[in-house]
Structure 1
Amino acid sequence: MDVNHFGAGFTLTRPVEVGRLIQLTIPLPHQLRCFDHTAPVYSVWSLVCHAAAIPRAPHQDATLFRVGVGFVGKAPPHSYEEDPTVRYELLPIKVGQNSMWKLGQRPLANQRRETRLIIPLEVLVETPDENGKPSMQENTVTETISSLGACIPTSLNVTVGRVLKISSRSDRVSTFAAIRSRKVAPDGIARLGLEFIGERWPLQRD
């Protein structure tokens, strides 16, 4: 782990989304703390500012993720307690010895950044466990897709805010996506609105 007064960088075995709040508990040196200077460990709420998959080594079973966070305080904001799926962004601060990052809620997009196309594409959807290995998986077909996201029918018991792994053998693509919406259609089957994390889906064909 790399750490300083304002944040930390570390490796995880499961994906986490930029803009999410997470709670870290680490044995941080007292000179790097803003509170609880004499406690044996430092428990601080942090905002995920960067997350990227690390290329998998030949002997590696699961994908690892490099994550960078900014420390934001001893307790989460009230808006997080009301809705843990809220995403945040860091606000500019005046840097000082005891400064911590301030939070602002990310504005919701009023419209899609890119039109989704009606393309039925066979995909494998997996839910990573705490070790990064699939805990549930399902083969399904996209109803709409763009380079930024997709809509898929599913029978998986997953909620908004969770990160999934989605793969296509025909497109030779494997990436991660955050669940932005989950709605049950009149046919009784749930539809997930997904936003791809990090990489765009390559819709262009040579």
Structure 2
Amino acid sequence: MSIALNHNIYSDTGQNSISSSEKVTAFSEAFISGKGWEANASIVNCTSAGASVECDIDCRVGCLLKLKANIPANLRAFDEDGDDYEVWCVVQSSQIVSDHGSKKYHVSLAFSSKEPPESYLEDPDRSYRITGVNELGLWKIAQSEKSFTPRRSLRYWTSVEHYLAVLDGKRDPVRGERTKTDNISSGGAAVFTTLSIGIGDRVKFISAQYDFSGLAIVCGKTELKNGRSRLNLKFIEEQFPIEKLKQKKKKR
């Protein structure tokens, strides 16, 4: 599968230097193709760590695809001098955003590598999951034993105070803020923030109250009022200690 974008991508910051979490936005036509199918699409936003696109195809979560776009050099992990940036990605989410006669899907992508893994060449239908950050500052992936299935872990609608840090490609914090969750589970959380963060970005979720510090990927984003947004995070290397949360609730 590949995505080819037109070249009128621009920075919404108006600056020459863009940090890894500041996004590039475009509404240009795009073209996606996969195993036995092809369709038009458009890019919604893009950062150094990932992108989101809209298309008529419900891309399977966990599948691998290639993105081709004229992304600014300072958002690239390689091929800074090339006309187009071609990066392999793993699909993190696919949600219906419109159903007025024809369905549209908002698909979130996490950038992974310059070349696909050998396992993909053997079987393009295999599923992949994120396991960390690789030497290029992109997402490290591994083959999943099973295809993605909707989460079954119990989600707690409770406010957990934490520090949310935006990370660069070396996993160093570049900025952050203290905020609260909307809900949380062992595998992820929905959090409120005023930070400029894009889909696919790397963040660190730090809760002193529950003695937890975990790397997470931004899988979804909803713009709210007053410059706030709601992020859907998926924890990568560690799971949040839900047992500690349950014990605290019992003591109340």
Q: TM-score, normalised by structure 2?
A: 0.42
How far apart are 1:203 and its partner, in Å?
1.1
1:165 matched to 2:190 = no
The residue type paired with residue 239 of structure 2 is R
Identity %: 22
The Cα offsets for residues 92-145 of structure 1, whole Å up to 9 and x where unpaired, read as 58xxxxxx6554474985633323111211100111224432111111001100
Distance 1:167 1:193 in 2: 15
Q: How does 1:10-25 map to 2 (within 5 A)?
A: none
- Distance change (3 Å), C-alpha of 1:114 and 1:90: farther
1:85 matched to 2:110 = yes
The Cα offsets for residues 4-34 of structure 1, whole Å up to 9 and x where unpaired, read as xxxxxxxxxxxx8998889xxxxxxxxxxxx
CA RMSD in angstroms, aligned pairs only? 4.3
Q: Tell whether the 8 Å contact from 2:206 to 2:214 is kept in structure 1 after alignment.
A: yes
How far apart are 1:185 and its partner, in Å?
3.1
1:191 matched to 2:216 = no
- Distance change (3 Å), C-alpha of 1:185 and 1:76: closer
Distance 1:128 1:77 in 2: 21
1:174 matched to 2:213 = yes
Q: 1:118 aligns with which of 157, 165, 173?
A: 157
Partner of 1:68: none
Distance 1:143 1:78 in 2: 28
Distance 1:79 1:121 in 2: 29
Q: Tell whether the 8 Å contact from 1:122 to 1:139 is kept in structure 2 after alignment.
A: yes
Distance 1:136 1:20 in 2: 30
Distance 1:84 1:143 in 2: 23
Alignment coverage as a number of residue pairs: 134
Q: How does 1:106-145 map to 2 (within 5 A)?
A: 106=127, 111-145=150-184
SS class of match (1:192): strand
Distance 1:150 1:143 in 2: 8
Distance 1:190 1:156 in 2: 8
The Cα offsets for residues 26-79 of structure 1, whole Å up to 9 and x where unpaired, read as xxxxxxxxxxxxxxxxx89xxxxxxxxxxxxxxxxxxxxxxxxxxxxxx65699
Distance 1:125 1:133 in 2: 13
Q: TM-score, normalised by structure 1?
A: 0.50
- Distance change (3 Å), C-alpha of 1:78 and 1:165: closer
Q: Tell whether the 8 Å contact from 1:117 to 1:146 is kept in structure 2 after alignment.
A: yes
Distance 2:111 2:125 in 1: 10
- Distance change (3 Å), C-alpha of 1:199 and 1:154: same
Q: Which runs of 5+ in 1 are unaligned?
A: 1-15, 23-42, 45-74, 94-99
The structure with more radius of gyration: 1
- Distance change (3 Å), C-alpha of 1:178 and 1:128: same
Q: 1:156 aligns with which of 195, 198, 203?
A: 195
Q: Which runs of 5+ in 2 are unaligned?
A: 1-48, 51-61, 67-77, 80-85, 92-106, 129-146, 248-252
